[in-house]
Amino acid sequence: MNDAQLQFVVVINAQGQYSLWPAGKPMASGWSAAGMRGERQVCLDYINQHWVDMRPRSLRENLSPSSASFQ
């Protein structure tokens, strides 16, 4: 079976970062399934559509306009 035929699961962590995980392997600690499973390119396309801000969630929240104080 070549890499294109392998099945993957799209996973996401608490910081909102996405990755691929081989289907059927125990999930790594801190990651959970994001709802997409399929061939590598299908999963990468899903990530590209859903992970539009590469910054970790904690950084996005700290830099959000609502958290800034203006004087």
CB atoms within 10 A of CB 10: 22
Between CA 22 and CA 48 the distance in angstroms is 18
58: in domain: no
Question: Can you tell me the distance from the alpha carbon of 71 to that of 69, in angstroms, rounded to the nearest whole number?
Answer: 7
Does residue 9 lie within any of the structural domains? Answer: yes
Q: Which residues contact 15 (CB under 8 A, 6 or more apart)?
A: 56, 57, 58
Domain membership flag for residue 29: yes
pLDDT of residue 29: 96
CATH of the domain at 29: 3.90.820.10
Helices (H), 27-70: 40-50, 57-62
Q: Which pair of structure tokens corresponds to residue 67?
A: 């958290």
pLDDT in tens, 28-66: 999 999 999 999 999 999 999 988 776 667 666 676 565
- Number of domains making up the chain: 1
Domain assignment of residue 12, given as a range? 3-53
In-domain check, residue 7? yes
**Predicted pLDDT of residue 3:** 63
* Location of structure tokens 């035929």: 5
